[in-house]
């Protein structure tokens, strides 16, 4: 409100909520009284200005690079919290304290290195995949890029002593992935893929991303291994789905509700996957494709390119996709967006330039420390403290900045978090589920 001048000539300036948060888009003399050009470590909640909560470091797996964390419920109703690192899946077990509270299970056909794990709870088990075709900056031609691990889809039901990632088919051939095609069917299925490659088989299929819709598992940004010739095939704009209700059946010649679709009409690659309600979203470098169940068992999904141009709004920053229930968010080249079943809306607002500047100034990763940003939508910071926010954690040299967007009040706040020298920065690149 305007300054209040008293009869003795003194004056006072009062500020009242709701507060607009950070505003770096206009000169300081032109911003609103309830906004700030620079404030830190405050929380804007319920029209009040509060100090932020104290944040504590989580107990992560004993390995140096945890690759994801989530929870699921097994068929007996028991909750399991799991994480991944190197060649292992770990289960949280507080009975092991004060030692590291993680039981290790062998969980992959080869070392997952520092590649993000994508996971999906389905039918009271956790399905997960991990390939190393990480989307990054352009690099030289001639096939340069990171080495591949064996493509796989694995599952752990919480009851077995180890996860399962192989399956044997009726012709006695074995695939090194639950998403696989038998030796007999591999030439037929391979001939239907883009470019019609000659595949001997059996085929092992893996993906950069995994989701679920219409009672079917969906892999996106596909790698295929022809186990007969040890040849890798890369299909960065392909999605592949399992048969309806059969998460271990991926062969369209055996079940017509299984199949795949390659987006050859768009000039980019898939950089993320998100499903909510009755629809799913495939993020691409230059656009977003919405898909939904069609009601047909032969062609179970319909696809609609929300953008399909040479340049457009896409998920340029693949780590930024986050979801909680019917609310999603991601960071594109031009802004930060929230996503619902019906539309995408820009939310960068008056803090957009400051956030984009921080993202551009991330300290490059080293062999020991992977300085990866991390994004998640969190419903609360502790029990009884409901506060639905989109969080962007950005690492610097000896600190990290957490940008917090409130979906209720539609404002941004920045928190600076100290990171002790030598401590690895957060490297979990897939947001945790809350159960």
Q: What is the pLDDT of residues 302-354, one digit of tens each?
A: 888 776 555 566 666 778 888 888 889 999 888 999 988 777 889 999 999 99
What's the rounded mean pLDDT across residues 237-246? 94
421: confidence class by pLDDT, cuts 50, 70, 90: low
pLDDT at 94: 86
- Answer yes or no: is pLDDT of 216 > 90: yes
* Domains of the chain (ranges, CATH numbers): 58-366 (2.120.10)
pLDDT at 428: 40
Mean pLDDT score of the chain, rounded to an integer?
Answer: 82
pLDDT in tens, 69-116: 889 999 999 999 998 888 889 998 888 888 778 888 888 888 887 777
In angstroms, rounded to a whole number, what is the distance separating the alpha carbons of residues 247 and 151? 16
Which is nearest to 387 in space by CA: 14, 18, 44? 44
pLDDT at 426: 46
- Answer yes or no: is pLDDT of 272 > 80: yes
pLDDT at 249: 96
Greatest alpha-carbon span in the chain: 96
End-to-end CA distance of the chain: 44
Q: How does DSSP classify residue 95? A: G
Q: Which residue has the tokens 């994801």?
A: 68
Query: Would you say the C-alpha torsion 34, 32, 52, 67 has a positive or negative sign?
Result: positive
- Answer yes or no: is pLDDT of 288 > 50: yes
């Amino acid at each position: 409100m305007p300054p209040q001048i008293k009869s003795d000539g003194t004056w006072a300036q009062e500020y009242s909520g709701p507060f607009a948060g950070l505003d770096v888009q206009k000169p300081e003399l032109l911003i609103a009284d309830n906004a700030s050009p620079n404030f830190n470590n405050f929380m804007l909640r319920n029209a009040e200005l509060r100090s932020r909560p104290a944040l504590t470091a989580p107990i992560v797996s004993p390995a140096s690079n945890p690759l994801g964390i989530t929870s699921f419920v097994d068929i007996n109703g028991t909750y399991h919290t799991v994480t991944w690192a190197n060649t292992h899946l770990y289960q949280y077990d507080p009975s092991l304290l004060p030692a590291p509270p993680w039981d290790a299970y062998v969980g992959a056909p080869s070392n997952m290195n520092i590649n993000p794990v994508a996971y999906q709870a389905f039918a009271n088990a956790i399905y997960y995949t991990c390939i190393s075709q990480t989307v990054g900056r352009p690099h030289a031609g001639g096939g340069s890029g990171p080495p591949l691990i064996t493509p796989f889809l694995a599952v752990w039901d919480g009851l077995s002593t180890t996860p399962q990632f192989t399956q044997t088919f009726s012709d006695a051939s074995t695939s090194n992935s639950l998403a696989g095609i038998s030796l007999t069917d591999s030439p037929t299925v391979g001939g239907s893929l883009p470019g019609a490659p000659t595949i001997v088989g059996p085929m092992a299929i893996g993906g950069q991303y995994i989701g679920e819709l219409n009672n079917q598992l969906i892999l996106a940004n596909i790698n295929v291994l022809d186990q007969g010739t040890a040849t890798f095939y890369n299909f960065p704009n392909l999605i592949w789905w399992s048969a309806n209700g059969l998460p271990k059946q991926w062969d369209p010649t055996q079940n017509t509700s299984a199949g795949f679709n390659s987006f050859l009409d768009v000039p980019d690659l898939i950089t993320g996957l998100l499903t909510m309600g009755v629809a799913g979203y495939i993020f691409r470098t230059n656009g977003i494709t919405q898909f939904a169940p069609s009601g047909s068992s032969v062609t179970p999904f319909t696809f609609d390119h929300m953008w399909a141009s040479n340049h457009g709004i896409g998920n340029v920053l693949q780590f930024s996709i986050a979801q909680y229930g019917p609310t999603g968010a991601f960071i594109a080249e031009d802004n930060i967006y929230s996503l619902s079943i019906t539309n995408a809306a820009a939310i960068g607002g008056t803090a957009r330039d400051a956030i984009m500047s921080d993202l551009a100034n991330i300290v490059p990763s080293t062999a020991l420390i992977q300085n990866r940003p991390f994004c998640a939508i969190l419903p609360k910071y502790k029990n009884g403290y409901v506060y639905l926010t989109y969080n962007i954690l950005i690492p610097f040299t000896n600190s990290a900045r957490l940008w917090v967007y409130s979906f209720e009040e539609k404002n941004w706040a920045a928190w600076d978090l100290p990171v002790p020298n030598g401590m690895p920065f957060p490297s979990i690149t897939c947001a945790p589920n809350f159960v």
